[in-house]
Amino acid sequence: MAALAGPVALRLYRRPGIITGRDGRLSTSTTLALAWTVILVWLLLTILGYGLTAGGGTGYFGGAHGPLSSLTTVYLPLLGGPYVALIAAKTVVGIRVENGTLAKPAPKPTATGRRPLRELIANDSGRTDLVDLQYVALSAVTMLYVVLFFLSDVSRGLPELPAEIWALTGAPAGAYLVNKMATRGNPVITHAAVTPDGTLTVEGGGFTDPRLTVDDTPLPAVQDPATGTLTATLPPGTTPPFTLVVTSRGLRSDPYHQPAAPATAQPAAG
């Protein structure tokens, strides 16, 4: 397991591009589908190795109750659920982005190019999404169930799974897909910055005829037509911390809390 999953995890840690979505953030559906693929490949390789060594050769794989008897009836459908959710979610998001009913702003790039794992259970604004959380948590429980029961008796091959275990992958995957279809196209604030002269810059997506407020106070803003970035001048005396909200087409973004600027070190007295 370590020999198979280790290099994959290291590759994704350094360059997570293959499990990121069109917005550059970690994709929940892609990550879970890849995890199930790695686990199933590990199961099959381990069974093959056992059969060719301790299992006695090709006769080990025969019979109605052989080590691979539940592959087509249980494990391929179990793997198919996450892939159906992956393909359907990408299709729904792509259509909604093209139709303008959903904004997928690019996140602020990190210095290392790596993405935080928290993105797997967070929405575009960085807040924990309950639907994504239950999809990841219940899928992880199902994976752990399969791995532990397999390790308890490798000679039996693929462990038998109760019918109810399908609910731990099918139902969360369905809820995840419905959430992608039902999520409103709220504007999203991904980053904000304040210059020393009091100029506020707000980055994000879904800013159509936007209205910007700072601590519930409306603020005139100018939008860059090329990037969609909002620029405004803070009232005299207004400094972080404060809370930003963008309203677009009657929809409000999640509050974005701009922290206070870090204190600069004072030079020592001569």
What local confidence, expressed as pLDDT, does residue 158 receive?
87
Q: Order the strands of the 230-233 sheet from edge to edge.
A: 188-194, 199-205, 230-233, 222-223
Instruction: Report yes or no on 253 lying in a domain.
Output: yes
Nearest in space to 48 (alpha carbons), one of 27, 75, 67, 31: 67
pLDDT of residue 112: 62
User: 136-187 pLDDT, tens per residue?
Assistant: 999 998 899 889 989 998 888 888 877 677 677 778 888 888 888 877 667 8
| Beta-strand relationship, 211-214 and 217-219 | antiparallel
pLDDT at 107: 59
Tell me whether residue 268 is in a domain: no
114 and 212 belong to one structural domain: no
3-state secondary structure of 230: strand
Q: Is the pTM of this model over 0.75?
A: no
The backbone torsions φ and ψ at residue 190, rounded to the nearest 5 degrees and listed phi first, read: -105, -25
Co-location of 158 and 210 in the same domain: no
Percent of the chain's residues with pLDDT above 70: 86
Whether 269 is in a domain gets the answer no
What's the whole-number average pLDDT of the chain?
81
Whether residue 178 lies inside any domain: the answer is yes
Residues 6+ apart with CB under 8 A from 137: none
Residue 74 and residue 197 share a domain: no
Flag residues of the chain having pLDDT under 50: 265, 270
Same domain membership, residue 159 and residue 210:
no
Q: What is the pLDDT of residue 104?
A: 65
**Which of 132, 149, 182 is the last residue before a domain boundary?**
182
In a domain, 97, yes or no: yes
Residue 196 has a pLDDT of 87
* Predicted pLDDT of residue 136: 92
